[in-house]
Amino acid sequence: MMLGDVGDVLLATPALRQLRDASPDAHITALTKPTTMPVLAQAGLVDAFLPVDKHLFDRPTALLRPGVALGLLRFACDLRRRRFDAVVVLHHLVTLWGTVKFAGLALATGAPMRAGLDNGRGVFLTHRARDLGFDAAHEAEYWSRVVAALVAPHPPAPAPSRGAGERVVSPLPVQGGELAGRATSPRPVRASRRRCAPHDVGGMPTPVGGEGALPAPTFVVSEGAQAAADALLRAAGLAPDPPLLAVHPGSGAYSVARRWFPDRFTTVADALSCRYGLGVVLLGGEDERALADTVIGHMRRPAANLAGRTSLEELGGVLRRCALLVGNDAGVAHLASAVGTPVVAIFGPFNHRTWRPLGRSLVVRADPPLPCMPCVNRGFSRGYPEGCPPRYCLQEVTPAMVVAAAERLLERP
């Protein structure tokens, strides 16, 4: 049961792999939103889908509408007819209404085994992994613990996330860890300073610490989607081979408060394009196309705008051709790590311990952190997804910090 957005489902794929490995003969059905089905379509981690539009009943008052209530009743009856043996709930039970929804769906299946996170509200669960709050572990680690609760009798409690893949950097405090086992990983890009004008980005201290242990998400790009992605790149004047720099200045629909400032993305893209001879491609959804045009409009170097012009699978194909993604805390960053592309992710109001990209990635955030950070997903609270209007935490992130993080990834084998 995964009713989150693209990034949420991607971070659940390591747990789905764990479940598949533990029960190779099981028939696994994903109850998820229609918009996130493509995340799992090619991965071989699930056998079937049960799409549900969770937004129809985001609030209790939605059930007062006869059409919504009747549709939900029919869906519950369909769940019962399928005779599931087990239900795995990959969600935090943050709000009372959310708990009622997940409990209702889980109990409607009639499954004798129901696994999930328990923060004191999981009385409907038969197999529990302890929820220690958003600050205590990464989402991928939590979902691995939920699967372990189902397939093993006594799983250990989640360890603090800094022991599961966090590298401390000043002022780049988090490292997601190396991506293992990808034969087509981008090659290191060597600097080329020819014809480059001076710019205002400076150096940074060298990262220290060890590599992470959490596996990267899984996302499979079909041959057809890769061919379509390559055609888009050629049509935009970009060869479909590295070196390319991907930039994602958007953040998805859930919270625009995660967006760093367009003029700063411009500075970073120009600096990296000039220094390393990278072609630049702007990515995102259709609603982010104008934002990408704003970034390109202020750039000194040429760039292509593919925002809104790709399917999810084609977006993965474009990212596979890039040496690096620089972007906000959003699903595109998790998609990049899932296809093996290094990521520099800019974090502001959201909790980096919970949502940082895995694989080969660096998080850039205010250092030292502001007292209000994070204001979303803190402890056991959902927090304030829209943050504060000034977005002080993002103002503290400079282009120099982001360029320095990109250099560490571009120049390291």
- Cα separation, 349 vs 343, in Å, equals 19
Q: Whole domain around residue 125: which residue ranges?
A: 6-159
Q: Which residue has the tokens 């993080």?
A: 405
Q: Are 304 and 201 in a shared domain?
A: yes
Q: Are 189 and 71 in a shared domain?
A: no
Q: Are 142 and 275 in a shared domain?
A: no
- What integer is the mean pLDDT of 160-174? 35
pLDDT over 70 (residue 237): yes
- What pLDDT sits at residue 166? 34
- Is residue 116 domain-resident? yes
Prior bond of 374 cis (ω within 30°): yes
- Is residue 292 domain-resident? yes
- What pLDDT sits at residue 182? 33
CB-based contacts of 223: which residues, under 8 Å, 6+ apart? none
With 0-12 / 13-18 / 19 or more C-beta atoms within 10 angstroms meaning exposed / middle / buried, residue 386 is middle
With 0-12 / 13-18 / 19 or more C-beta atoms within 10 angstroms meaning exposed / middle / buried, residue 395 is middle
**Domain end position, chosen among 104, 128, 159:** 159
Q: Are 354 and 132 in contact (CB under 8 A)?
A: no
In order, the DSSP letters of 119-142 are: SS--TT-SEEEE---TTTS-HHHH
Q: Are strands 244-248 and 279-282 parallel, antiparallel or unpaired?
A: parallel
* Number of structural domains found in the chain: 2
- SS3 at position 77: helix
Q: Are 20 and 96 in a shared domain?
A: yes
Q: Are 95 and 178 in a shared domain?
A: no
- What pLDDT sits at residue 323? 95
Q: Could you tell me which of 352, 345, 327 has the C-alpha nearest to residue 162? A: 352
In order, the DSSP letters of 193-206 are: -TTPPP-S----PP
pLDDT over 90 (residue 174): no
- Cα separation, 377 vs 387, in Å, equals 11
Q: Are 19 and 82 in a shared domain?
A: yes
- Is residue 1 domain-resident? no
- Cα separation, 91 vs 108, in Å, equals 17
- Is residue 405 domain-resident? yes
Within a 10 A sphere around the Cβ of 89, how many other Cβ atoms?
23
Q: Encode pLDDT of 76-114 as tens digits.
A: 888 899 999 999 999 999 999 889 989 999 999 999 999
**Domain end position, chosen among 159, 190, 222:** 159
**Domain end position, chosen among 159, 178, 208:** 159
Q: Are 385 and 356 in a shared domain?
A: yes
- What integer is the mean pLDDT of 394-405? 98
pTM: predicted TM-score of the whole model, two decimal places = 0.86
What CATH number does residue 288 fall under? 3.40.50.2000
Q: What is the mean pLDDT of the chain?
A: 85
- Is residue 294 domain-resident? yes
- Cα separation, 293 vs 296, in Å, equals 5
Q: Are 129 and 259 in a shared domain?
A: no
Q: Are 81 and 140 in a shared domain?
A: yes
Q: Are 356 and 322 in a shared domain?
A: yes
Q: Are 268 and 169 in a shared domain?
A: yes
Q: Are 142 and 197 in a shared domain?
A: no
The crossing angle, in degrees rounded to 10, of helices 399-410 and 262-276 is: 40
